[in-house]
């Protein structure tokens, strides 16, 4: 079993408080399993261990049925619900539990722990405080996940990934202000695979860092092409999503600096999008990295604003240029409730702080009209355009082109291209 959102305790109260909580959880679990009622119902064979971090394992011997295992899991989960006192404050803890049953066919201890771990992560997918029993369906899903990760590694190697771009438009007049780069996977056998299928797998492995580096370079090369061709009318900056794992790497600014130099892209033609969750994973590294990128001239957008911690301290501590209002608020604008007030408040706050604000997920004219009335200058969504290849974006800009100051298309490594406008 794994404690849900345990990192929140470490991030907000510090690791010492986290250690205190783990000790209290351990004591309560041992007391629960030693309880005479537990022994009377399920037998004496219990062993509790902490595998590391906030992950525990309970070995239960001689249970009569699968139902008994479930009842032990539920008993343990209930035992944690009474508040813990840490650093003078109450904290309610929930746990996600994975259950694996030993048999003559799967008596290997390592395999049993692996199966329980798979079931636990499935329980986490359902939300905090759930349990899940390992079965063959979960085994099949785990095998599919491994196969998907293997295929994704090949996709990087054999050039199966593509970037599509979605415009961010100026609501007054509808012209394109910039674009967001979005990764697509064209599998040779399955065709287009949804990012929802492969991005979570990439995020659980080192692949997200490799995909992020590839995306950054590809987007910068496209930005260079557009700057050369369209000059001041180019749909720039192009914004690239940066994952929490990427942002936690101290070498990220150097990577971006290197890519800018090699592709000849001006720093102002690149923007990165980060989420609030990424900022709190380890705030010291992101703060330093974002400040360094800001000094280069790279723009920084805070994505999905309103769904995370939405802390004003983030806007003060990190050099943010724009907020992107999460699509969930835009989707429900016409349904009454507080969404209009939230969008108006975010837009007003952004204006007061000198930040741009982008309304995400605009899917109809009514939503576009409303977010503009609520104070948003920019918007993004299917109402304006679906994510599309570069050629489709170019058709929205128009046929006029700018000549390159140096012939030959993309620059050689380390050289900068300029448009005829001198930019």
pLDDT tens for residues 269-301?
999 999 877 776 555 678 889 999 999 999 999
Helical axes 252-263 vs 284-296, angle rounded to 10°: 20
Radius of gyration of the chain (CA): 26
- Confidence at residue 140, expressed as pLDDT on a 0 to 100 scale: 78
Same fold yes or no, 2-134 and 148-397: no
How far apart, in whole angstroms, are the C-alpha atoms of residue 245 and residue 141? 24
Q: Which fold has domain 148-397?
A: TIM Barrel (3.20.20)
Please state, as a whole number, how many other Cβ atoms lie within 10 Å of the Cβ of residue 76.
Answer: 21
The pairing of strands 270-275 and 299-305 is parallel
Asked whether the beta carbons of 206 and 214 are under 8 A apart, the reply is no
- Confidence at residue 16, expressed as pLDDT on a 0 to 100 scale: 86
129's tokens: 């405080």
Residue with more model confidence, 66 or 103:
66
- Confidence at residue 407, expressed as pLDDT on a 0 to 100 scale: 29
Q: Among all chains, which residue has been given the structure tokens 């041992």?
A: 30
Report the sign of the C-alpha dihedral through residues 94, 95, 96, 101, in that order: negative
Among 10-14, 35-39, 59-63, 381-385, the range scoring the smallest mean pLDDT is 35-39
Domain definitions of the chain by residue range: 2-134, 148-397
Residue 386 backbone dihedrals phi, psi, to 5 degrees = -80, 160
Cis peptide bond upstream of 237, omega within 30: yes
Closest CA to 270 of 231, 296, 232: 296
Q: Which residues contact 199 (CB under 8 A, 6 or more apart)?
A: 183, 208
43's tokens: 């037998």
Reply yes or no on whether the pLDDT at 24 is more than 50.
yes
Stretch 28-35: mean pLDDT, rounded?
A: 85
Helix (H) or strand (E) holding 56: strand 55-60
Residue 73 backbone dihedrals phi, psi, to 5 degrees = -60, -45
pLDDT tens for residues 74-132?
999 999 988 899 888 888 889 999 999 887 555 688 888 888 988 998 888 888 899 99
Q: Which residues contact 88 (CB under 8 A, 6 or more apart)?
A: none
The residues that bridge with 187 in the sheet, in sequence order, are 191
Residue with more model confidence, 192 or 257:
257
How far apart, in whole angstroms, are the C-alpha atoms of residue 214 and residue 199? 14
Stretch 381-409: mean pLDDT, rounded?
A: 70
pLDDT tens for residues 162-194?
999 999 999 998 899 999 999 999 998 888 888
What pTM was estimated for this model as a whole? Answer: 0.70
Asked whether the beta carbons of 272 and 305 are under 8 A apart, the reply is no
398 conformational bin, left if phi > 0, alpha if psi -120 to 50, beta if neither: left
Report the sign of the C-alpha dihedral through residues 350, 355, 359, 365, in that order: positive
Please give the full DSSP string across 63-82, using - where no structure is assigned. Answer: -SSHHHHHHHHHHHHHHT-S
Q: Which residues contact 100 (CB under 8 A, 6 or more apart)?
A: 106, 112, 113, 115, 116, 119, 133, 134
End-to-end CA distance of the chain: 57
pLDDT tens for residues 134-172?
887 777 777 788 888 899 999 999 999 999 999 999 999
Helix (H) or strand (E) holding 299: strand 299-305
CATH class of 2-134: alpha beta
- The band of 308, judged by pLDDT with boundaries at 50, 70 and 90, is low
Reply yes or no on whether the pLDDT at 374 is more than 80.
yes
Residue 105 backbone dihedrals phi, psi, to 5 degrees = -85, -25
């Amino acid at each position: 079993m794994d404690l849900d959102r345990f990192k929140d305790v470490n991030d907000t109260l510090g690791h010492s408080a986290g250690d205190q909580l783990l000790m209290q959880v351990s004591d309560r679990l041992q007391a629960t399993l030693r309880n005479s009622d537990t022994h009377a119902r399920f037998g004496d064979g219990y062993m509790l261990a902490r595998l590391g971090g906030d992950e525990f394992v309970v070995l239960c011997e001689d249970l009569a049925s699968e139902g008994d295992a479930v009842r032990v899991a539920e008993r343990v989960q209930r035992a944690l619900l009474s508040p813990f006192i840490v650093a003078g404050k109450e904290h309610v803890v929930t746990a996600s539990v994975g259950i694996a049953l030993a048999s003559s066919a799967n008596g290997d201890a390592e395999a049993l722990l692996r199966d329980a771990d798979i079931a636990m992560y499935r329980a986490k997918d359902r939300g905090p405080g759930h349990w899940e029993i390992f079965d063959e369906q979960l085994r099949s899903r785990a095998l599919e996940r491994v196969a998907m990760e293997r295929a994704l590694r090949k996709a990087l190697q054999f050039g199966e990934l593509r970037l599509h771009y979605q415009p961010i438009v100026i609501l007054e007049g509808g012209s394109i202000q910039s674009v967001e780069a979005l990764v697509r996977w064209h599998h040779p056998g399955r065709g287009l695979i949804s990012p929802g299928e492969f991005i979570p797998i990439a995020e659980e492995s080192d692949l997200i860092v490799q995909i992020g580096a590839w995306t950054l370079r590809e987007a910068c090369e496209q930005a260079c092409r557009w700057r050369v061709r369209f000059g001041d009318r180019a749909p720039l900056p192009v914004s690239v999503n940066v994952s929490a794992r990427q942002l936690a790497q101290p070498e990220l600014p150097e990577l971006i600096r290197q890519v800018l130099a090699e592709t000849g892209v001006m720093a102002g033609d690149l923007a990165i999008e980060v989420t609030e969750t990424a900022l709190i994973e380890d705030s010291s590294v992101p703060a330093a990295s974002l400040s360094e990128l800001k000094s280069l001239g790279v723009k920084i957008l805070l994505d999905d604003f309103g769904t995370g911690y939405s802390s004003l301290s983030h806007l003060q501590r990190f050099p943010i240029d724009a907020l992107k209002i999460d699509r969930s608020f835009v989707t429900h604008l016409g349904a009454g409730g507080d969404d209009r007030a939230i969008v108006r408040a975010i837009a007003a706050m952004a204006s007061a702080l000198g930040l741009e604000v982008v309304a995400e997920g605009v899917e109809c004219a009514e939503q576009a009209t409303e977010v503009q009335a609520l104070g948003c200058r920019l918007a993004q969504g299917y109402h304006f355009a679906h994510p599309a290849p570069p050629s489709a974006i170019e058709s929205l800009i128009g046929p006029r082109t700018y000549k390159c100051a140096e012939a030959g298309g993309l620059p050689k490594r380390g050289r900068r291209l300029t448009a005829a406008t001198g930019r």
